[in-house]
Amino acid sequence: MAKQRKKEGLPPGSIVFTGDQKVDKVLIHYLKYNEEQLEEQSFHSHDNIIFPEAAIEVVDWYDMRGLHNTTLIESLGKSFNIHALILEDIADTNQRPKYEEYEKGNFISIKALFFDKEEVTVKTEQISIYFNQGLLLSFQEDETDIFAAVRQRLELGRGRIRQRGADYLAYALIDNIVDNYYQVINEVEAVIELLEDQLLSDPGNNLKGKIHHLKKELLIIRKSILPLREAISQFAKSDSPFIEDRTTIFVRDIYDHTVQVMDMIETYRDMLNGLQDLYLSEISFKMNQVMQVLAVVTTIFVPISFLAGLYGMNFENIPELKAKNGYFILLAVMLMIVLFLLYYFKRKKWF
Amino acid sequence: MAKQRKKEGLPPGSIVFTGDQKVDKVLIHYLKYNEEQLEEQSFHSHDNIIFPEAAIEVVDWYDMRGLHNTTLIESLGKSFNIHALILEDIADTNQRPKYEEYEKGNFISIKALFFDKEEVTVKTEQISIYFNQGLLLSFQEDETDIFAAVRQRLELGRGRIRQRGADYLAYALIDNIVDNYYQVINEVEAVIELLEDQLLSDPGNNLKGKIHHLKKELLIIRKSILPLREAISQFAKSDSPFIEDRTTIFVRDIYDHTVQVMDMIETYRDMLNGLQDLYLSEISFKMNQVMQVLAVVTTIFVPISFLAGLYGMNFENIPELKAKNGYFILLAVMLMIVLFLLYYFKRKKWF
Amino acid sequence: MAKQRKKEGLPPGSIVFTGDQKVDKVLIHYLKYNEEQLEEQSFHSHDNIIFPEAAIEVVDWYDMRGLHNTTLIESLGKSFNIHALILEDIADTNQRPKYEEYEKGNFISIKALFFDKEEVTVKTEQISIYFNQGLLLSFQEDETDIFAAVRQRLELGRGRIRQRGADYLAYALIDNIVDNYYQVINEVEAVIELLEDQLLSDPGNNLKGKIHHLKKELLIIRKSILPLREAISQFAKSDSPFIEDRTTIFVRDIYDHTVQVMDMIETYRDMLNGLQDLYLSEISFKMNQVMQVLAVVTTIFVPISFLAGLYGMNFENIPELKAKNGYFILLAVMLMIVLFLLYYFKRKKWF
Amino acid sequence: MAKQRKKEGLPPGSIVFTGDQKVDKVLIHYLKYNEEQLEEQSFHSHDNIIFPEAAIEVVDWYDMRGLHNTTLIESLGKSFNIHALILEDIADTNQRPKYEEYEKGNFISIKALFFDKEEVTVKTEQISIYFNQGLLLSFQEDETDIFAAVRQRLELGRGRIRQRGADYLAYALIDNIVDNYYQVINEVEAVIELLEDQLLSDPGNNLKGKIHHLKKELLIIRKSILPLREAISQFAKSDSPFIEDRTTIFVRDIYDHTVQVMDMIETYRDMLNGLQDLYLSEISFKMNQVMQVLAVVTTIFVPISFLAGLYGMNFENIPELKAKNGYFILLAVMLMIVLFLLYYFKRKKWF
Amino acid sequence: MAKQRKKEGLPPGSIVFTGDQKVDKVLIHYLKYNEEQLEEQSFHSHDNIIFPEAAIEVVDWYDMRGLHNTTLIESLGKSFNIHALILEDIADTNQRPKYEEYEKGNFISIKALFFDKEEVTVKTEQISIYFNQGLLLSFQEDETDIFAAVRQRLELGRGRIRQRGADYLAYALIDNIVDNYYQVINEVEAVIELLEDQLLSDPGNNLKGKIHHLKKELLIIRKSILPLREAISQFAKSDSPFIEDRTTIFVRDIYDHTVQVMDMIETYRDMLNGLQDLYLSEISFKMNQVMQVLAVVTTIFVPISFLAGLYGMNFENIPELKAKNGYFILLAVMLMIVLFLLYYFKRKKWF
């Protein structure tokens, strides 16, 4: 979870990539649009690219995939006047989700979540978004096109997205990621229900490991979403000049969604704890049953075995052995003992 | 609990029905009233109904049952100038209870709860209420007439409801739902008491499953009511132009009720946790008793069985076997061993 | 705990008695006093009593015992101009403790607690107090004279109570009830100490039930007092015209008491949880001891019993059986086995 | 912990001593000082002592030891114009630590803690301090001179204490008590470490009782210190005319200390809970080992004992018995069974 | 953790060293720099050193290693006009991390953490930093050069550190320590993962001790970092004249880091609790399996052993014994019993 931070000892604002390089070359997807027109471009970046100044009346969206090229990030920072601490945060993939306002633009760091059904594992991908008047930069580590839906809406001109500014685009991107949380949440719930069914039918050995594993995954999800709630709340309450009032109401909507997702995560944690308690009850109950069977069998056979042993002794003078019906009387006595014990255990509800 | 949200990737404000269609056609129950008159109408809606403009000096209440017809919801939105995000929330049946104020009207989303005694299960039904000056729209998924009592009061002109506006009607509807929570709560308490009685008389196998199940149901209830508390609080503190001051005091009253219901739910959770602890104690205690019986029986018979085995050996030269009273002396020794062990276990309070 | 609320579907402000009728006729105890004079009267009420208007310069205290007569409560409301929601709350005995200010007077609902030593059970009695300038109404369900001490102070003119207004009387009544909490708390503590002593001397079967029961009672006490803390805090901070400044300092004193009582309740809950943990440790420890005895006895006798069985076989050719000292050598071997095992278990600290 | 409050039913402000009388006669230690001079006097008080009016430019400190003489407290109250509620709080030894400001002076109630190493028990002693311009009264129940260090500093004129007013003296007294908390805390930590060592070397019977006992003592300590944190915070933020600004910075220092002590107490609680969990793990683990030994021994000997029993039967026709090497073949078979089982259990890691 | 505080009874502001002397003589490392120049000096201090007055336009950094020489600290206090309470805090190595502003300068106390991989133990070292306009004093107990990285940056003139004041230097030092927390955190995580692997492969005896130990270490880490969060927050929000606005944004960055570290610590605590639960489940599950084997073996052999014993009796008249195929019939019966029991246990899933 917490990979080695390589920057120790470096001055603040040093751009150090802390993740694993997942792409060969940084892919930049560039989109420039306003209500009337839309221009799209996609290219692998050189190291020292010069970015044109943002035009008035359009929104420029640079969607960068790949973070290992710190020289590129630096030149980006220079082109668009981005604060050094933001550049540092973009390259550091172990960022806590947060929202920060700087003089020249606003920055939001957020985790996209993916649920791997096979391994019941959550994977996180850090998304950084920087925007101001007419400019939006988004950063991610690998090449998956997680903003495909938003891009399509832009291309088709559906909804109000083409008529709004970069702040609305930022909202749309975050909304896209948060919407995806619901899918992760649904998968988690499905796994919990599966575990519960298994537990009730047959509490086998590996169930406790699975419950433990899912609890750990939930901790990771929680750690990714909990700070986001506060970040979005700051976004919604912001009076930054780069955010229009009519956008705020939509951000408030995302806030509601993160709160709901957190509610569910807490509910799932409670459920998993409940499952674990149930597992322990199940084990205890089963052990109790096993012990009762053992105790009943032992208690019934030990006394009559003793009697059999008694009359297996080789003393020369054991009068009973010579009695004609001794054997049959003893059998009767044994039967009575057994019946009495069975009755006794039945009353004690031991079986 | 969290059904698949179908909207992913769609622009915000897209009206997508996320529940299960429970009615064939949307039933609209229309009521128009003021202090002097009351007009009532009930019809199945066409897709493109045109709603008349709200008249002054009366309250128009459209009570819609069925949410699958998104076209209808959209035309409703157009007729009455409702914000797109509200329409989206109405159609999405997995909403978190909330209260929101928009420029043209106020919106509240709330869960009605029903307790199924047979299956000890809670069912939730999402109710959305939108109101402004003289207009109130209420939405639910199925056809059950949960507002029958309020409608009757309107028809009979009982209480002050006919003399007040749409805000008071909104209050009356919410009050109706919250009052119903008490019934659910009472059922839950009855089940808890039943479980407790069963636990104290005979902690059988399925009790732990039942406790677990009820805890899960309580989680669902909690998730439905907890956010409502804050929503109602916002309603009560609102200075919206659509809410009269004299209504506020009544909303404060609902607030007290939701707080009380939440108190009870927390108390029930504590009780169920207590029951679970008691169950584990019960099992442990019972196992302890079983073990003690087993240990006592084993410890008493094992030594004397050994003695019997000893004199069952076929060595040619075992002097004791030839003693005339050997058998009877051995019997006496065995009796002494048994008596000593019984005394020992009695002192140790093993039975 | 939560009795059926009968009011469902009724308009707000409907006066419905939700408790059990505990008296035949409502008893009204009337007291009118100021610094110079005191007039006292006690009568069973008719249904439609007309209450005289409150005189200036005196305090009128109507102490009503019995809540089933809703007609009486209604006429009381009309005589003294009391808000309908207050009347509803007075008749509803399942109120959460609360403090509310209305235009014409202040209302406080509070639970008196009684501890039944025999059954280790807490009983609650709801007290409602309404007061304004010169008028105080108090309501309770049964006839016990819980305010006897305050009445006596009034009659004897002790302390400053006769020189103050209805607000101070309200304070004195609440103080009387809260003082009584300490007695309940002391009883609870005594029971906890008793349980602890029993647990340490002999953790029998019914202890876990008793601990569970007391935890439940504590939940009820907590539910009755926790909301009071906030109610008293509102009272203390109030700037209502019916409360004199010099009274506030005394109300602050009650607030300290409720905080202290809550502190103690939380401490007792922790203690009971501690007791339960101790009980489980005790059971586990005891079971461990039982198992060790069982294991020691079994492990010692099983091998030597096997040897005895071995030489009890009827093979024709077992050379050892014919050895002259075979029996005695075997006995020696058995003794050595036993001694070795005893030494082994001693080192393992199994007994 | 909560002794009987004797005051029930009495009017507020009644001075009732609720502790145990620990001294015969109240001892008053009087100190009058300013930067130049210091006058000291120590006497047993009569009932109706008349206290001289406080002189200007000096600090009068009355240190009263013994609270049972309520008449004396009353006359003290009259001499120095102290509010009745303060006098009541001084005599009531079950006060929650608190800080209160009245018109004529400030009051602080605080618990001094003493740790009895022998019985591992915490004893509390309530200290009440009342101060205003030039006057300080301190009250305690018994005669121990807990303020000896402060008095010595006054006598020697060390530090800045002689140059400051009664507020600084109040600070010095509280600081003295809070400093003493660290000693209690250190003792508690020493006991915890001892328990931990014992647990890891030999988890005997009485350990669980000791852990439980220490947890209870920690609850008492917590209850004594937690409210103090808030009280000191109020003291530090006060704008009372009796507190100089330059004193505030020192009070803030005590606040830091109480926070640190509370931190440690919470840490110790976590540690004790950890110890308890460890104890249970230890017991479970040990039981598991015992069970494994039992199971291994039983499983190995039961089958071969059965074989021995089989050939101990007296059937006339058992062909094996007549075989010449029957006995030796059986011995070999038994050996093989034992070896196989040992191998099996070894692989299962049962020993 | 809480060493004896030696100062009890001393007046506040008394400088008492509460740690262990780790160096012979105090080492002072002096650095004086501004954008153009840098002067460095390192010497062992005499007791009564006279510190020159701070020059304008440069930053003076005294880095003191060793705290036992309280005379030196006192003369330092006199030279630079430092408040007595700060000097006391510097010498007391058991300080809670905190940030305080005084008239003449700001003070921050912080814990540096070191993780000892061998013993899985965290060691803390208290760092105190005092700074105002152009002066910074840092204090630590031993001689390790923990600020080497910052000093190097100063010497090389890398980053913006040489162009800024003492406030930025203070930030850089704190940042250096907080950055180091990540390393500790990573080590802890590595240990947790190791424990988890061991637990899943073979839950041996000492695992529970290791989990317990790590939980305790985590408590110490938590206690060192939790208060820092608030201290840094106060630093970030400060409007002290000694802190430039452009420094604040960097301090906010440290705040984010401490929050993230605390998040992780909480996550690790949850993980360790999860591990402990898993350990208990593992033990319970294993015991259950052992019991089942024991019960199966016992239940199968006890009845047939009884039969063998029965026909080992020496009654003269046991007809079965004389039957020609008696032995073989009995063998068949025994086989049937065993097969039936095996089938029965198979169906019950006992093995």
User: Residues spanned by CATH 1.20.58.340 within chain A?
Assistant: 286-347
Which residues, other chains included, contact E206 with Cβ-Cβ below 8 Å and sequence gap of 6+? Answer: none
**A49-56 average pLDDT score:** 68
CA B128, B133, B135, B141: dihedral to nearest 10 degrees?
Answer: 0
User: Residues spanned by CATH 1.20.58.340 within chain C?
Assistant: 287-347
Nearest CA in chain E to A217: E271
Confidence at residue A203, expressed as pLDDT on a 0 to 100 scale: 67
User: Residues spanned by CATH 3.30.460.20 within chain C?
Assistant: 27-281
Rounded CA separation B219/B213 (Å)? 10
A201 reaches E (C-beta below 8 A): no
Overall CATH class of domain C287-347: mainly alpha
pLDDT in tens, E341-350: 999 988 887 7
E202 reaches A (C-beta below 8 A): no
Reduced 3-state DSSP string for chain E:
CCCCCCCCCCCCCCCCCCCCCCCCCCEEEEEEECCCCEEEEEEECCCCCCCCCCCCCCEEEEEEECCCCHHHHHHHHHHHCCCHHHHHHHHCCCCCCEEEECCCCEEEEEEEEEEECCCCEEEEEEEEEEEECCEEEEEECCCCCCCHHHHHHHHHCCCCHHHCCHHHHHHHHHHHHHHHHHHHHHHHHHHHHHHHHHHHHCCCCCHHHHHHHHHHHHHHHHHHHHHHHHHHHHHHHCCCCCCCHHHHHHHHHHHHHHHHHHHHHHHHHHHHHHHHHHHHHHHHHHHHHHHHHHHHHHHHHHHHHHHHHHCCCCCCCCHHHHCCCHHHHHHHHHHHHHHHHHHHHHHCCCC
**C308-333 average pLDDT score:** 87
Crossing angle (nearest 10°) for helices C166-201 and C148-156? 140
Residue D345 is encoded by which pair of tokens? 């259990």
Phi, psi angles (nearest 5°) of residue C40: -130, 145
- When comparing pLDDT for E291 and E47, which is higher? E291
**C51-67 average pLDDT score:** 82
Cα of B78 to nearest chain C Cα, Å:
33
Confidence at residue E205, expressed as pLDDT on a 0 to 100 scale: 63
Nearest to C290 by CA among B229, B297, A303: B297
Sign of the dihedral defined by the CA atoms of residues A340, A343, A347, A350, in that order: positive
Chain A positions in Cβ-Cβ contact with residue E186 (cut-off 8 Å): 2, 4
- Give the chains touching A; criterion: ≥3 Cβ pairs < 8 Å: B, E
Chain B positions in Cβ-Cβ contact with residue C321 (cut-off 8 Å): 313-316
> 3-class SS at B313?
coil
pLDDT in tens, A146-189: 898 899 889 888 778 888 999 999 999 999 999 889 889 989 99
Residue E276, CA distances (Å) to B278, D274, E199, E273, E282 in order? 22, 10, 10, 5, 10
Nearest to B121 by CA among B271, B267, B1, B269: B1
Rounded CA separation C210/B274 (Å)? 12
Residue A273 is encoded by which pair of tokens? 């704890």
Confidence at residue A11, expressed as pLDDT on a 0 to 100 scale: 76
- CATH number, span E284-347: 1.20.58.340
ipTM above 0.85, yes or no: no
- Give the chains touching D; criterion: ≥3 Cβ pairs < 8 Å: C, E
Rounded CA separation E350/E291 (Å)? 10
> 3-class SS at B106?
strand
Confidence at residue E144, expressed as pLDDT on a 0 to 100 scale: 86
Confidence at residue B3, expressed as pLDDT on a 0 to 100 scale: 47
Contact B306 C305 (CB under 8 A): yes
DSSP secondary structure string for all residues of B233-280: HHHHH---TTS-HHHHHHHHHHHHHHHHHHHHHHHHHHHHHHHHHHHH
Identify whether the C-beta of residue E78 lies closer than 8 Å to the C-beta of residue E105.
no
**Residue B209 C-beta-side C-alpha neighbours within 13 Å:** 11
Confidence at residue E3, expressed as pLDDT on a 0 to 100 scale: 47
Nearest CA in chain C to D89: C253
**E323-329 average pLDDT score:** 86
Mean pLDDT check: name the lowest of B153-157, C125-129, C255-259.
B153-157
Mean pLDDT of chain A: 87
Model confidence at B55, pLDDT cuts 50, 70, 90, reads low
Which residues, other chains included, contact B235 with Cβ-Cβ below 8 Å and sequence gap of 6+? Answer: B99, B106, B108, B243, B251
A274 reaches B (C-beta below 8 A): yes
pLDDT in tens, A20-41: 777 788 889 999 998 888 988 8
| E302 closest CB neighbour out of A298, A318, A324 | A298
Residue E116 is encoded by which pair of tokens? 């000892």
Confidence at residue B48, expressed as pLDDT on a 0 to 100 scale: 61
Radius of gyration of chain E (CA): 35
pLDDT in tens, C202-248: 766 678 889 999 999 999 899 999 999 999 999 999 989 999 988 99
| B280 closest CB neighbour out of A182, A200, A281 | A281
Is the pLDDT score of D54 beyond 90? no
Architecture of domain A286-347: Up-down Bundle (1.20)
Is the pLDDT score of E78 beyond 90? no
Is the pLDDT score of D2 beyond 60? no
Identify whether the C-beta of residue E12 lies closer than 8 Å to the C-beta of residue E84.
yes
Mean pLDDT of chain E: 87
Chain D positions in Cβ-Cβ contact with residue E215 (cut-off 8 Å): 274
Confidence at residue C203, expressed as pLDDT on a 0 to 100 scale: 66
Say if residue C198 is exposed, middle or buried (CB neighbours under 10 Å; 0-12, 13-18, 19+): middle
Nearest CA in chain A to E185: A2
Is the pLDDT score of C158 beyond 90? no
pLDDT in tens, B153-162: 898 887 788 8
Nearest CA in chain C to D319: C315
C304 reaches B (C-beta below 8 A): yes
D317 reaches E (C-beta below 8 A): yes
Cα of D209 to nearest chain C Cα, Å:
7
E11 reaches D (C-beta below 8 A): yes
Nearest to D242 by CA among D134, D325, D337, D151: D134
E322 reaches A (C-beta below 8 A): no
Mean pLDDT of chain B: 87
Is the pLDDT score of C107 beyond 90? yes
According to DSSP, the β-strands at A59-65 and A27-33 are antiparallel
**C98-110 average pLDDT score:** 93
Model confidence at C14, pLDDT cuts 50, 70, 90, reads confident
Say if residue B268 is exposed, middle or buried (CB neighbours under 10 Å; 0-12, 13-18, 19+): buried
Confidence at residue A3, expressed as pLDDT on a 0 to 100 scale: 47
* pTM for the whole structure: 0.84
- Give Cα A166 to chain centroid, integer Å: 30
Confidence at residue B265, expressed as pLDDT on a 0 to 100 scale: 93
Interface test with D, best of E290, E302, E321, E351 (most D CBs within 10 A): E290
C277 reaches D (C-beta below 8 A): yes
**A66-89 average pLDDT score:** 88
**B9-27 average pLDDT score:** 79
**D123-135 average pLDDT score:** 92
Confidence at residue D7, expressed as pLDDT on a 0 to 100 scale: 58
Residues E45-69: b if buried by 16+ CB within 10 A, e if exposed: beeeeebeebeeebbbbbbbbbbbb
Contact D219 C253 (CB under 8 A): no
Is the pLDDT score of D208 beyond 70? yes
C313 reaches B (C-beta below 8 A): yes
User: Residues spanned by CATH 1.20.58.340 within chain E?
Assistant: 284-347
- Give the chains touching B; criterion: ≥3 Cβ pairs < 8 Å: A, C
**D99-125 average pLDDT score:** 92
Chain D positions in Cβ-Cβ contact with residue C302 (cut-off 8 Å): 297-298, 301-302, 305
Pick the CATH number of B288-347 from 1.20.58.340, 3.40.50.9100, 1.20.1560.10, 3.40.50.720: 1.20.58.340
**What are A116's strand-pairing partners?**
A121
**E104-126 average pLDDT score:** 92
Confidence at residue B227, expressed as pLDDT on a 0 to 100 scale: 93
Is the pLDDT score of A351 beyond 70? no
User: How many residue pairs bridge chain D and chain E with CB atoms within 8 Å of each other?
Assistant: 153
Nearest CA in chain A to E289: A287
Cα of A74 to nearest chain B Cα, Å:
32
pLDDT in tens, D258-316: 999 999 999 999 999 999 888 888 888 888 888 888 888 888 998 998 898 888 888 88
User: Residues spanned by CATH 1.20.58.340 within chain D?
Assistant: 288-347
E6 reaches D (C-beta below 8 A): no
Contact C294 D298 (CB under 8 A): no
Confidence at residue D192, expressed as pLDDT on a 0 to 100 scale: 92
Nearest CA in chain B to A197: B209
Confidence at residue C170, expressed as pLDDT on a 0 to 100 scale: 95
A313 reaches E (C-beta below 8 A): yes
- Residue B332: Cβ within 10 Å count: 11
Confidence at residue A127, expressed as pLDDT on a 0 to 100 scale: 95
Cα of B285 to nearest chain A Cα, Å:
10
Mean pLDDT of chain C: 87
Confidence at residue C314, expressed as pLDDT on a 0 to 100 scale: 86
Tally the residues of chain D.
351
Chain B positions in Cβ-Cβ contact with residue A271 (cut-off 8 Å): 216, 219
Chain B positions in Cβ-Cβ contact with residue C312 (cut-off 8 Å): 309, 312-314
Is the pLDDT score of D12 beyond 80? no
Cα of E48 to nearest chain A Cα, Å:
34
Residue A161, CA distances (Å) to A41, A59, A135, A185, C81 in order? 19, 11, 15, 27, 58
Rounded CA separation C84/E13 (Å)? 63
Confidence at residue B46, expressed as pLDDT on a 0 to 100 scale: 67
Nearest CA in chain E to A305: E306
Cα of C228 to nearest chain B Cα, Å:
13
- CATH number, span C27-281: 3.30.460.20
Chain C positions in Cβ-Cβ contact with residue B292 (cut-off 8 Å): 290
Most trustworthy range by pLDDT among C29-38, D320-329, E127-136? E127-136
Is the pLDDT score of B1 beyond 60? no
- Give Cα C22 to chain centroid, integer Å: 21
- Give the chains touching C; criterion: ≥3 Cβ pairs < 8 Å: B, D
| A297 closest CB neighbour out of E186, E288, E302 | E302
Model confidence at C2, pLDDT cuts 50, 70, 90, reads very low
